[in-house]
Structure 1
Amino acid sequence: MIEKDLLDFRDLTCTNFMIKLKILVNKMKAGESMKILSTREQFQNLPKKIFKNPLTLKHELLEANKYLLHVSKS
């Protein structure tokens, strides 16, 4: 079951995933967070350098090709 506030980006290409993610991260305000479903390929291609202070990225492997990403901004 997919939560209402959960963003499911598994159908996006890696490039479109990165573009969408950067736009959303830039719009985030301090104290906000979001949950995103991604594929293994999308997760592995994330440049970790965009998740530096004040951003935090945590991930959880749900299935073989399904990751839950928690992005928060402090």
Structure 2
Amino acid sequence: MPPLTLPKTTAIGDIIAYANYKMMTKEGRRNRYTFAGAEYFKRMQETGLYSINREEIRSRIEKLNLLDVMNQKLV
């Protein structure tokens, strides 16, 4: 099975890419990156990734063909 790449159009894919990018700087290594953290939470709002609307989130994930991807068996 090929590795799963989570696109930056999802909150999880974006936080991984964002944290990896920030960790390359001296200042970035001092921070922790979480969904509830002020810095990343603000980014989610600015990029339109923050939502509490389940249907909106489901639709976004469905369009990326990632619906139930975490329920698939790897072996």
Higher helix share: 2
TM-score (ref. length: structure 2): 0.25
Higher strand share: 1
Structure scoring higher RCO (CA < 8 A, sep ≥ 6) equals 1
